[in-house]
Structure 1
Amino acid sequence: MIVAFLNQKGGVGKTTLALNLAGEWAGKGKRVTLVDADPQGSALDWSQQRAREGVPRRFGVVGLARDTLHREAPELARDADHVVIDGPPRVAGLMRSALLAADLVLIPVQPSPFDGWASAEMLALVAEARIYRPELVARFVLNRCGARTVIARETAETLADHDPPVLTSTIGQRVAFAAAAQSGRLVCELDDADLATREIAALATAIERLGVGRIAS
């Protein structure tokens, strides 16, 4: 199964979610490859930092920031249970290629009306991809949110009326994600990140319940 974290708006947490989801699946014994399709190479930087820190590798990280991704990612999927794509911001050709490669597209948004407005172009690209891939599944993911804040609730209610809808699992605003990333680690590898770890586990469960691709088997 190939899942891509995509949003043309930068700074919404695509890399953080992609890395930690890949780590969650790898921790369950799955073979996972993460594709860094962002020209900035943040996931590759994380992987290099992990190596410098002497932390054992949980999954492979491959740089594929090019518009042939839809032809190359399925080859990677042959040797993996899951391929997770960390997508680019505002690179139209590469974005389209990632959409065509994916079985599931997750669109991270923060609880802000600005993120909602910025998603319109992303949704247009999803609709375009579905012309060629009608089976493509997409969901919004609320990230960096306080579950009990008014704006988080209003954002969730607004996205509930959209196609795609919002995923049932949400991710909070937690310093543990930044702390883990700086040392090339995952939140599940920190001693004081229980809430963040449980949220990533819940995200993986919510994805699995969608029954997309090889997850259904």
Structure 2
Amino acid sequence: MAAKAVTIAQQKGGAGKTTIAAQLAVAFARGGLRVGLLDIDPQGSLAAWYDIRKALVEEEGGGITFVQASGWRLSTELDRLKRDVDVVLIDSPPHAETEVRIAVRAADLILVPMQPSPMDLWATGPTLDMARKEKSPALMVFNRTPSRGKLVDAVRKKIKDAEVPVAQTVLGNRVAFAASMMEGKGVVESNPRHTATKEIKALAVEIAGILGLD
């Protein structure tokens, strides 16, 4: 089976790209897949999480292969990763640069996280435009979503009116996600029975179904 690449992209900062990349990586790995993580964000937050993980998780990386790359090395490192794993998750910076375009072009799926707010909705435009130009399929996913409120339904309707696919899975505004990151883990490992675990597992299953990884 050829490895699949998922680029997590969103121009607006604070959408939770890095958290989703790490959490999905752990969920996929715990589900039996060989997982690669490619960090192309100069901020290096995913690299910092992985460093903690290597120190605290008994198995080296907990079944996850990590690479940090930028510029001309990006395509080379992505191709190398894809030879050794089943799925590669790419964490991208919050602005449209050459690296992001390469990552979007190479992806089998563009995952676009957003909080259910007008600002986040408007900020998705450049990312979705890039995906269309590169002919890469995109999937919106609600993240840090409040438990109640009509705003979620209103924003979901706006997205559907624009004919952009929206994930059935909604990720809530859960402290458990951040708490697990502090330990170099995913919530699947640190708190298996938490609602956050159910949510990230459901999103992993949904993405696996789209990519034919199930």
Residue number in structure 2 paired with 1:149: 149
Q: Quote the offset at 1:105 in angstroms.
A: 0.5
Tell me: CA distance 1:129–1:68, structure 2 relative to 1, closer, same or farther (3 Å). farther
Is residue 163 of structure 2 the alignment partner of residue 160 of structure 1? no
Is residue 51 of structure 2 the alignment partner of residue 48 of structure 1? yes
Residue number in structure 1 paired with 2:6: 3
Identity %: 38
**Candidates 92, 96, 121, aligned match of 2:97:** 92
Q: Which AA in structure 2 matches 1:13?
A: G
3-state SS of 1:77 partner: helix
Residue number in structure 1 paired with 2:26: 23
**Candidates 207, 210, 215, aligned match of 2:213:** 215
Residue number in structure 2 paired with 1:133: none
Native 8 Å contact 2:57 2:184 kept in 1: no
Native 8 Å contact 1:67 1:97 kept in 2: no
Please, which moves more after superposition, 157-166 or 104-113? 157-166
Is residue 101 of structure 2 the alignment partner of residue 115 of structure 1? no
**Distance in 1 (alpha carbons) for counterparts of 2:31 and 2:128:** 32
3-state SS of 1:85 partner: strand
3-state SS of 1:165 partner: coil
**Distance in 2 (alpha carbons) for counterparts of 1:7 and 1:40:** 15
Q: Quote the offset at 1:5 in angstroms.
A: 0.5
Q: Quote the offset at 1:107 in angstroms.
A: 0.3
Native 8 Å contact 1:32 1:80 kept in 2: yes
For structure 1, the residue ranges without an aligned partner over 5 or more in a row are 131-135
3-state SS of 1:78 partner: helix
Residue number in structure 2 paired with 1:101: 106
Q: TM-score, normalised by structure 2?
A: 0.91
For structure 2, the residue ranges without an aligned partner over 5 or more in a row are none
